[in-house]
Amino acid sequence: MNDLQQGGINDSASSAVDNLLFFGIKYKNALIGATLFCLLAAAGTYFWMSRQADRELEAGMQLSAVEQLLQRGDYRAAIKGDKENPGLETIAASYNGTRSGEMAALLLANAWYSLGEPDSALTAFNTVSMKNPDLQAAVLAGKGACFSNRKEYAKAAEHYEKASGKAVNNALKASYLVDAADCMAKDGKEDNARQRYSNIIETYPGSAGAASAQRSLWMLSGHK
């Protein structure tokens, strides 16, 4: 779409809102209060949605500039940014509520974890709010990884199991349950871990998670 077409659409939308507001003001004495409220609320909603779209576009562009840093493994630069491009911390804080802003928060948490700083990662994970169930599961699993890194295996297993319950993708469900069972084993609860591994093998046959569970089960049984 060229600039002229885009401008025409924006002008039309703005005119529609202007007409709506004018109608509400002109006939306010004849309108029921609730109706007037709905008219004015609709106008406000349009402006809010327009602003959100602008913020999403800005956040997406800034996030794409950080992508190369993440691909290179330059996590600290990705977190802090530089003079030309804001980092994940700034993007996540400035564009909270947009899809790219929330994705920046998730990437921020992952970056801190990749740097071996689970406390900072956990703080970042606690700020993330995703709508997609598999991404919600990823946040829970990320918290589980942080607790596991801190050797808080019971909390880690709990979060991994929650992640499995939240995930829609069966491969992810199985993988997170394996992580939960691994943490149970590390926490000295080997019987619970064996039961979990067996359940994974039975529930998700043929999956990578089932194969991993089988290997772990053999190791717990003393097989190499």
128 touches 113 (CB < 8 A): no
- Reduce the DSSP state of residue 86 to 3 states and report it: strand
162 touches 140 (CB < 8 A): yes
Q: Give the pLDDT confidence score for residue 45 in this predicted structure.
A: 42
Q: Give the pLDDT confidence score for residue 223 in this predicted structure.
A: 54
List the beta bridge partners of residue 81: 86
pLDDT for residue 48 is more than 60: no
Q: Give the pLDDT confidence score for residue 51 in this predicted structure.
A: 55
- The average pLDDT across 134-139 equals 91
Of all residues in the chain, what percent carry a pLDDT higher than 90? 50
Alpha-carbon distance of 224 to 40, in angstroms, equals 70
What digits encode the pLDDT tens for the residues 13-47?
544 444 444 444 444 444 444 433 443 444 444 44
- The average pLDDT across 50-64 equals 76
What digits encode the pLDDT tens for the residues 155-205?
999 999 999 999 999 999 999 999 999 999 999 999 999 999 999 999 999
pTM: 0.72
List the beta bridge partners of residue 86: 81
The full set of domains in the chain, from first to last, is 31-129 (no CATH), 151-224 (1.25.40.10)
> How many residues does this entry show for the chain?
224
Residue at 195: amino acid letter? Q
Better-scored residue on pLDDT, 129 or 158: 158
